[in-house]
Amino acid sequence: MARVLILDSVDRSLAAELESHGISVSDLAKAEPAAVEAALPEAEGIVVRSRTQVTAAMIGQARRLRVIGRAGAGTDNIDKDAAHARGIEVLTVPGGNDRAVAELVLTFLFAFSRQLVPAVDASRRGEWAKSKLGGFELGGETLGIIGLGKIGKTLAELAQGLDLEILGFDPFVDPSEWTTPKVAKCALPDLLERSRFVSVHVPLAPATRGLLGAEELARMRPEAYLIQCARGGVVDEDALADALEGGRLAGAGLDVFSTEPKIPPRLAQNPRVLATPHIGASTEQAQTKIARLLAGSLVRFLQG
């Protein structure tokens, strides 16, 4: 009987589906490190989200490991070189959280355009701050989307209903193969200069690490907002903090960070920043969909 370890919190339907196919499941998401270490040698599969770092050392301990299931799309927390050197398959679930992440981006847009957080904070302090909290409507503003994969395309589709002009740039798509309707393709500098909102949706890879640094952020308008729901490391966080502290950006909505679970203090404490703890995929629907899709892939792999 194949044995799978669940090392991060995932929807219960994943374990139920695996068990219904005769696969043994141990949920160690809340276990002590010693318990995980003791269980690794007998595991044929492990399941993680973004919290657990699947290192070469961990892979070395799991002498029977055949497959690593990532409940999501990104794999930057998995040492893929070490896995592939052992012939271990890495399974992901692209598209399971596209709607959830896109809706979080829109939440940031609405929150910034209507000064929602300052309004709520003032009300909690007993202040009637109506005259200080003028906002602006999203219709007619420009949204620049960096990365037109499943999430970027879903965001573009939803944003069209808000009458936003939509610009797009994708470092992995040849301009001649651009097929995203109602999204005007443009170079990255042009997108940054024209957009009121810039939303990032590329994976973390050598080509995208530090994609938005000091030079790129300097191209953005002082009244612009950066939304980062992709992967920590795509945006240079020190450069972003400098731009915000210098008043060169109106604000930033950040759901991912390079030092998770810690949020850099300069960003966490900046009133121009709305920071959330990597909740982009944390909806009931997304987690259920991801769990079921990943369970199906694991069953097919483990049972040949």
Select which of 196, 216, 231, 237 is catalytic: 231
Cβ–Cβ under 8 Å, residues 27 and 7: no
- For residues 182 and 176, is the Cβ–Cβ distance under 8 A? no
Active site residue 300: no
How far is residue 289's CA from residue 276's CA, in Å, rounded to a whole number? 22
Q: How far apart are the first and last CA of the chain?
A: 13
Is 21 noted as a catalytic residue in this protein? no
Closest CA to 100 of 278, 281, 227, 279: 281
Sheet with 3-6, side-by-side order of all strands: 24-27, 3-6, 45-48, 67-70, 89-91
* 287 exposure class (CB count in 10 Å sphere: 0-12, 13-18, 19+): buried
DSSP 141-193: -EEEEE--SHHHHHHHHHHHTTT-EEEEE-TTS-GGG---TT-EE--HHHHHH
Sorted by sequence, the CB contacts under 8 Å of residue 189 that are 6+ apart come out as 216, 219
Candidate list 260, 266, 272, 292, residue with the active-site label: 260
C-alpha span between 278 and 255 (Å, rounded) = 5
> Is 201 among the residues known to form the active site?
no
Catalytic residues, by residue number, are 231, 260, 278
